[in-house]
Amino acid sequence: MSLVYLITGLPQLRRDQPSPLPRAEFVRRCRDLLEGPDLAELELMLRIEAVEETIRLDLETRLRGGDADDALTAIITQRSDGADVEQLPEWVLRPALQHELMRRHYFELTREAQTEFLRGWANFRVDIGEISTAALAKQQGLSRDAFLEQMLGSFDASAPLILRHWEEPDLGLGRRFSWLPTVMAALADDDLMAMSRTLDDVAWDKIESMQPLELFSVETLLATYLKLRILEREASWDAEAGAEVLARILTLPPEAGLTA
């Protein structure tokens, strides 16, 4: 009954319109009404908030000139994600390269998720992340070995195939993903906001393609959460402020380990 109540009360989300429901309010409703396996699956999805909070606090500390110890203190004591630190996996609270934390998160999803939707989303995020990293590395003239350094970890989806076909324009993935041409074209766009918008379009389409036929399921709530993330992030874009933060990041030394 809780699922039916929640889903019946959801507004329709449209790609070309602002979000009609704050994401925080959606999460509050879900936590109030869900229980058992459905709540556990939602909380697993929501762990992305804790991972991003660790990345944010680490970045802000490094931008202020702090070191790894300062970052760890901030990560534990200054969180604004509302997570119970005692309930989070240890790795979420440990300063690390941004791409390593994100890959670890999606790896954990593939192992712990109970729905095909959540496992499929995790694999999609890793695939598109590996392809984006490879394409941007090639655009900057970086070597295959430089790309490999970014892919170190226990979760490789497309990376092995990319490494074998490094010199090919489509990285050997031409027939593997229908969204590949769109993503490759977007990554070549000098307009960063247009690029991000296109990548979000691809993610939105992927979310819709993975939703099951059964409307009253936890997968519908997971899809709604992901769509709200996209709409809220785009509504918060500020090109001038973003350029200022990017300029500050680019002045950090390589050992800061903040590359995406």
CA distance to 53, 82, 92, 228, per residue, from 88 (Å): 12, 11, 7, 23
| Cβ atoms of 88 and 137 closer than 8 Å | no
Give me the mean pLDDT over the 197-216 stretch: 93
> What is the overall mean pLDDT for the chain?
83
Q: Which of 115-119, 151-155, 172-176 is the least confident region? A: 151-155
| pLDDT band (50, 70, 90) for residue 243 | low
The string of DSSP codes covering 188-229 is T-S-HHHHHHHHHHHHHHHHHHH--S-SSSHHHHHHHHHHHH
Q: SS3 for 79? A: coil
Stretch 94-106: mean pLDDT? 83
pLDDT of 246 above 60: no
- Can you tell me the mean pLDDT for 23-52? 92
Q: How many CB atoms lie within 10 A of CB 243?
A: 11
Percent of the chain with pLDDT over 70: 87
pTM, 2 dp: 0.82
Q: How confident is the model at residue 112, as a pLDDT?
A: 93
The residue with greater pLDDT, 29 or 254, is: 29
Q: How confident is the model at residue 259 (pLDDT cuts 50, 70, 90)?
A: very low
How far lies 184's CA from each of 101, 108, 135, 170, in Å?
24, 27, 7, 8
- Cβ contacts of residue 106 below 8 Å, gap of 6+? 122, 123, 125, 126, 155
Residue 13 has pLDDT above 60, yes or no: yes
- DSSP at 85: G
pLDDT at 182 over 90: yes
The stretch 102-116 carries a mean pLDDT of 90
81-95, 133-147, 150-164, 211-225: least confidently modelled range:
150-164
User: Rounded CA gap, 44 and 118, in Å?
Assistant: 9
Q: Which residues contact 150 (CB under 8 A, 6 or more apart)?
A: 99, 133, 137, 259
Distance between CA atoms of residues 139 and 169, nearest Å: 11
Query: 146 vs 81, 112, 204, 249, 260, CA distance in Å?
Result: 34, 31, 30, 20, 14
CB burial readout 173-195, b (16+ within 10 A) else e: beeebebbeebbebbeeeeeeeb
| Helix axes 36-63 and 68-77, enclosed angle (nearest 10) | 140
pLDDT band at 258 (very low <50, low <70, confident <90, very high): very low
What pLDDT was estimated at residue 227?
96
Summarised one tens digit per residue, pLDDT across range 142-159 is: 777 777 766 655 455 677
pLDDT of res. 244:
55
* pLDDT for res 114: 94
What lies within 8 Å, CB to CB, of 104 at 6+ separation is 91, 96, 153, 155
- Rounded Cα distance, 219 and 212, in Å: 7
99-119 average pLDDT score: 89
Mean pLDDT of 25-54: 92
Average pLDDT, stretch 47-76? 89
CB of 95 within 8 A of CB of 72?
A: yes
How big is the chain, counted in residues?
A: 260
